[in-house]
Amino acid sequence: MANAQPHMIVFANEKGGTGKSTTAVHTAIALTVLGHRVGMIDLDPRQRTVTRYMENRAETARRRSVPLPAPDFAVLRGDSIAALEDEVATLSDGQDFLIVDTPGRDDDFARHMAARAHTLVTPMNDSFVDFDLIGQVDAETFKVKRLSFYSELIFEARKSRAKADGVSIDWVVLRNRVQHHDARNKKRVGDALTELSRRVGFRVIPGLSERVIFRELFPSGLTLLDKGQLGDLGVSHIAARQELREMVAGLALPLRSDAVPMDMAGAA
């Protein structure tokens, strides 16, 4: 795969606060640990969430004198699509995967990269506030009334991409922060997602639950895979790590059979 164009994974959601950047970073580290060559680009030079996460990670590795696996990384510096394409071309060289984190707003660069994705991941919180991004529901029955502008945009991008080069964009809706205690709302959102997925053609997979650990990890740039650097792990941390593994498996990415996982024994 390294001699061809990398498999592009684009994390996109026009709403903020959905765990998009956290999920993107954990996916990038997970693939790196599995032995894949990974590039990552932050398309939000204003917020710089992913950039700050990776800078924090590099600083922690330096401060603790430990090797922390990380993807090759860049933040968008240009102000044109041509500049973006140059950055993507440079970062793609020799990579198996290129992960793109987009801003939590409508953005020309995000639209451009969504149309170029092989796997398009839309994280959303498990609520109808976030569901409104992809579809509108009836206030009484919670049945889907119509597609949102965003769903129509992605639908057209997928159609154009298939026509242009035969690539089928795998659109994955990631259910983050599922509220386990609110079974009725969880079921209603789930039913609406199932109904809409049949009309639009995306897949729905479970993401990461709302856990304090994710907010605590950011200043150090660590992830749930950096076991030896996290101290004593509680039951919730172990459960969160299992969620992460299941999420990465659910993305159904084309993993290289000859990839050699990194030896994390020293960090276990």
Is 2 a domain residue? Answer: no
Is 154 a domain residue? Answer: yes
Q: Nearest 5°: CA angle at 36, between 98 and 84?
A: 15
Is 117 a domain residue? Answer: yes
| CATH code of the domain covering residue 238 | 3.40.50.300
Q: Is 7 helix (H, G, I), strand (E, B) or coil?
A: strand
Q: What local confidence, expressed as pLDDT, does residue 262 receive?
A: 81
**Hey, how many other C-beta atoms are within 10 angstroms of the C-beta on 93?**
12
* pLDDT tens for each residue of 66-112: 999 999 999 999 899 999 999 999 999 999 999 999 998 889 999 99
Is 48 a domain residue? Answer: yes
pLDDT along the chain (268 residues), means of 10: 78 87 95 96 94 96 95 93 94 96 92 94 89 89 90 90 89 80 79 91 88 86 90 79 92 92 56
Q: What local confidence, expressed as pLDDT, does residue 2 receive?
A: 45
Q: Which residues contact 44 (CB under 8 A, 6 or more apart)?
A: 50, 76, 101, 102, 103, 104
Is 1 a domain residue? Answer: no
Q: Nearest 5°: CA angle at 213, between 263 and 7?
A: 50
Q: For residues 41 and 50, is the Cβ–Cβ distance under 8 A?
A: no
Q: Whole domain around residue 94: which residue ranges?
A: 7-267
- 232 vs 217: CA distance, rounded Å: 14
Is 148 a domain residue? Answer: yes
Is 140 a domain residue? Answer: yes
| Strand ranges for 15-143 from DSSP E | 38-42, 72-75, 97-101, 119-125, 135-137
Q: 126-130: list long-range contacts, CB under 8 Å, 24+ apart.
A: 126/175, 126/176, 126/177, 126/178, 126/179, 126/185, 126/186, 126/189, 127/185, 127/189, 128/185, 128/188, 128/189, 128/192, 130/15, 130/18
Orientation angle between helical segments 183-200 and 149-165, nearest 10 degrees? 40
Sign of the CA dihedral running 136, 138, 143, 146: negative
Tally the domains of the chain: 1
Q: What local confidence, expressed as pLDDT, does residue 208 receive?
A: 85
Is 53 a domain residue? Answer: yes
